[in-house]
Amino acid sequence: MKYITVILLMLVSSFAYCQGNDVDSQVSLDDIVFQDLDQNLMKVWLLGRQANGSQLDEKFKSCQKEWLFVKKKLLATDLPHVNVEEFVSDLDYYYKLLATSVGSRDYLNIEKMSYHIMYEFRSLRQCYFYSSYSLDQLWDVIDVYQSIDFTIDDPMMDLKEWHEFEDMINDMICNWENYDYLHISEIQKFYPGMNKNRHSTAKEDINSCTFSLLIAIETAMQDKFKLPCDQLGDAFEELIQLYAYSKPSVLM
């Protein structure tokens, strides 16, 4: 069973760059969404998760190149209430950590650091109370799923009470419903290459796997949770794969 991705830095860096409580309406979502960078990071994340080094150097090189472009754009953008220089400096540091992990084929940290860089941009968007970027909504679901996965994989259920475990399941379902209700046009706004039929199929797989997990949980027998939980994780990974490799095409 896949481990839960946890980085303690996330707990202290969320909103760390936000200064003050006012939000500047002149900062649009388009100003702080960098889908090309996200796609490159998702490719690296997938390779780290799969412990696949065959294309890792190539994908990370593309990731670094895109970061240089994004960094230049960020430093030239007025983002009120955000310390852009500190934000960029920290991301430079995370990229160095990621580069070290790629060089040593430390797949665990490759997965962690590529995710964490994407998380930093999610935090930036949260500073301006933007929650309509579909990829952010998908990660909201996966974050809770990973906590569930970790709990199920622990013989002691991470010392959680049963009601706490049920609360996590409900949180995941609520987050998934928020994503599931998105119209394909909301997703294609930033990912115009997202294939509508393949996306629908991926969502159906997730719904089916979620139902199987709920049926297993009804038995209250932990050993029966593992397989449907793993299958749900694979289904989420397939959806991330669609995001990572979607390209605009006239044949969608």
Does any domain span residue 5? Answer: no
Element (H, E) at 41: helix 35-49
Give the pLDDT confidence score for residue 220 in this predicted structure.
94
DSSP state of 57: H
Give the pLDDT confidence score for residue 134 in this predicted structure.
98
Report the half-sphere exposure of 218 (CA within 13 A, side-chain side). Answer: 6
Answer whether 81's CB lies under 8 Å from 65's CB.
no
If asked whether residues 106 and 151 sit together in one domain, one would say: no
Give the pLDDT confidence score for residue 248 in this predicted structure.
80
If asked whether residues 65 and 113 sit together in one domain, one would say: yes
If asked whether residues 120 and 162 sit together in one domain, one would say: no
What range does the domain containing 217 cover?
A: 134-245
- The residues, any chain, with a CB within 8 Å of residue 117's CB and separated by 6 or more, are 41, 91, 94, 95, 98
What is the C-alpha end-to-end distance of the chain, expressed in Å?
34
Last residue of a domain, one of 67, 102, 127: 127
Element (H, E) at 116: helix 107-127
Give the pLDDT confidence score for residue 17 in this predicted structure.
59
Which parts of the chain have pLDDT scores under 70? Answer: 1-25, 249-252
Does any domain span residue 17? Answer: no
Answer whether 70's CB lies under 8 Å from 25's CB.
no
